[in-house]
Amino acid sequence: MVLLGIDIGGSGIKGAPVDITTSELKAERSRIVTPNPSTPDAVAEVIRETLAKFPEVGGPVGITFPGVVKAGRVLTAANVDSQWEGFDAATFFSAKLGRPAVIMNDADAAGIAEVRFGAGRGVPGVVVLLTLGTGIGSAVFLDGKLLPNTEFGHMEIRGKPAESRAAARIREEKEMGWQEWGEKVGEVVARLAALLNPDLFIIGGGVSRKADKFIPVIQSMVKTPIVPAQLQNAAGLVGAAAVAADIHRT
């Protein structure tokens, strides 16, 4: 089965058709800059434009969002417009797109993809995925089962949210070297290791393509194994489409 996955981010909105049995993207991924302001109506228009690029793909659409999502309703929106807070996004998108829409936290979607198809597949115990991008997303699994809507990027580290110190955006804005930035990410990972005692950390987001430049720095600070996401920046799209398929089947 091929379904569309959409990944709403603070800087870009990505979309692609996904084979949910293999995790393969069936066409080149679309990316459109997130509108400013990133209101629901503005984002919906970008998603409509993205869907129009793949007219052959029908069925439900899986959509990720950078915030807490419960029962299709957005509860927090740290990196997008505040109009999203308390917004019934699932009902809104279903009406705007003319097809069923499933919406979930972006890091949760990426984690689902990695646990089903990638670096977390078959790993027992506690697995923690961190996505490093505009902010820091997190997903926690116990024996493959998700604990939804964790927000470890907002955890305080020396008086600041973790993502204000260690998101990939911060590395670029402050022109940090890989060693310096890796130490900041390592501080976040070390705190989580002390709190959760996980069996595996997975580092995702687009920056995971350069994992060899910073994961060794982080690994030197913690004992828990750390690996890059296998699906890299496509994980959110794959996870969103997979969850849409799950709900469509029920």
Token pair 């687009």 is at which residue? 206
Based on the domain organization, do 65 and 146 belong to the same domain? no
pLDDT class of 233 with cuts at 50, 70, 90: confident
CA 66-107-1 angle, 5° bins = 105
Please check whether residue 19 lies inside any domain of the structure.
yes
Based on the domain organization, do 240 and 194 belong to the same domain? no
Query: How many structural domains comprise the chain?
Result: 2
Based on the domain organization, do 59 and 152 belong to the same domain? no
> Does the predicted TM-score (pTM) go above 0.85?
yes
**Any idea what the CATH number is for the domain that residue 151 is in?**
3.30.420.40
The tokens describing 29, both together, are: 């991924």
Classify 192 as helix, strand or coil: helix
Please check whether residue 131 lies inside any domain of the structure.
yes
Please check whether residue 67 lies inside any domain of the structure.
yes
Please check whether residue 114 lies inside any domain of the structure.
no
Based on the domain organization, do 34 and 93 belong to the same domain? yes
Beta strands in the chain (DSSP E): 2-8, 12-19, 24-25, 30-33, 61-65, 69-70, 73-74, 87-88, 101-105, 126-132, 136-142, 145-147, 156-157, 160-161, 200-204, 226-228
CA–CA gap between residue 140 and residue 243 (Å, rounded): 16
Judge contact between 103 and 89, C-beta under 8 A. Answer: yes
| Tens-place pLDDT, residues 23-70 | 999 999 999 999 999 999 999 999 999 999 999 999 999 999 999 999
Based on the domain organization, do 153 and 216 belong to the same domain? yes
Assess whether pLDDT exceeds 70 at residue 99: yes
Domain range enclosing 99: 2-108+234-249
Based on the domain organization, do 238 and 224 belong to the same domain? no
pLDDT class of 78 with cuts at 50, 70, 90: confident
CA–CA gap between residue 114 and residue 176 (Å, rounded): 28
Based on the domain organization, do 71 and 127 belong to the same domain? no
Based on the domain organization, do 131 and 159 belong to the same domain? yes
